[in-house]
Amino acid sequence: MKFDTSMKTGTLVTFPGGALAGQGRIEFAAPCVNGWLVIADRTPVHPVSFRWPDQPADLGQITFADGVVVEIADAWTGLIDAGAGVLLIGEEAKAVRKGEGEWQGVVVHIVQSDRDLGAYIGEEARFTVEPRRRKALSVPHTAAHLAALALNAASVPFWTKDFADLDSLGRPNLDKAAIENSSIEPAVSTDVYRLGKSLRKKGFDRDGFLNNLETVGVEINGMIRRWLETNTLVSLTPSEGLLDGIRQWRCNLDGTEVIIPCGGTHVERLSDIGDVKITLAPSEEGFVMTTQAREA
C-alpha cells in the first residue's frame, strides 16, 4: 500500500524502556482491507518488523480525545519519506532495500472501527499495551539471548581455527554466524541455524558439534540456570527513540556487560523468568534450538 503523507519524521517509540502506555498525536489514519491504519508521532506499541519479523506485535487499545476506545489488533512497521511525502506499508515497504533513500520507520497500528478515524488527525490519544502478552513475548525473547550466549560458550570446543567475530563474553559468535531465522511466540523462541560450507571453512567442526548435540544442550541449560539465579537487571538502550534507531540489549553476566543489538522487548530482571528449557535438534541444514521460557 502507498499513501500520500505530510508526516515529517518516523515514530518515536517508548517500548525499549518497558513502557506500556503513553500519549501520542495522531498523524495519519486511513482505511484499508485490514481495518484502519493509525500512525502517531509517539507510541509504546512494539510493531512487528518486516526485515526481521521474529517478535510479533503488541496488542492494546487507543483511547481518542473524545473517549472513543478502539482495539489494536496488530501493529506493523511502515516507511515514510518525508521529503517525497510518501508512506509505504506492507509489500511496498518490504520491497525497499535497507539503506536505500531517506526512508524512516513508523509504527502502523491496525484497528477495527466503523467510525471515520481520520477525524482524529492532529489530536492527542492514549495508547495502552496489553501487559500479559507483552510479558509472554518478552520472557522468551530475553531467554533466547541467554540461550544464544550459552550456545556460543558451549560450542567453543568445536572451533578448530581462531574465529575473529567474538560475542561480549569473548566466545566465537556461532549464533550470529549461523542464525538463519528466529521466531518468538508466548513462552517459546525458536532459532534456526545453518551450518554451511563457509562456516566449516572458517574452522567450525560441524559434524563434531552435531554428534554432540545432547551434551551441548545439557551445558547450555546449566549455564542459563546459573545466570537466572543472579537476578541481574536487563535493559534496552536508549529507552526511547526513533523506531529505526539502533538499540542495545544489556545484561551483566559473569561480571561482564553483555551487549547485543536488538529491536524487541525484554523483561526487567532475569528473576522475571521462571524455568527455561532449551532443546537442540538436528535439521537438514544445521540445527534448531527451541527455548521454552515461562514467567517466574
Q: Summarize as ranges the residues that interact with Zn ion (CB under 5 A).
A: 262, 264
Q: How far is the CB of 137 from Zn ion (least distance, A)?
A: 11
In this complex, which beta carbon is closest to Zn ion, that of residue 176 or of residue 206? 176
Q: How far is the CB of 182 from Zn ion (least distance, A)?
A: 8
Which contacts (CB < 8 Å, 24+ apart) does range 27-35 have? 27/121, 28/3, 28/87, 28/121, 29/117, 29/118, 29/120, 29/121, 30/3, 30/118, 31/117, 32/1, 32/89, 34/74, 34/110, 35/73, 35/110, 35/111, 35/112, 35/113
In this complex, which beta carbon is closest to Zn ion, that of residue 109 or of residue 247? 247
Q: How far is the CB of 212 from Zn ion (least distance, A)?
A: 27
In this complex, which beta carbon is closest to Zn ion, that of residue 111 or of residue 262? 262
In this complex, which beta carbon is closest to Zn ion, that of residue 243 or of residue 262? 262
Asked if 163 contacts 202 with a C-beta cutoff of 8 angstroms, the reply is yes
Q: How far is the CB of 204 from Zn ion (least distance, A)?
A: 23
Q: How far is the CB of 253 from Zn ion (least distance, A)?
A: 15
In this complex, which beta carbon is closest to Zn ion, that of residue 26 or of residue 147? 147
Q: How far is the CB of 226 from Zn ion (least distance, A)?
A: 21
In this complex, which beta carbon is closest to Zn ion, that of residue 16 or of residue 264? 264
Residue number of the CB closest to Zn ion reads 262
In this complex, which beta carbon is closest to Zn ion, that of residue 16 or of residue 24? 16
Q: How far is the CB of 142 from Zn ion (least distance, A)?
A: 8
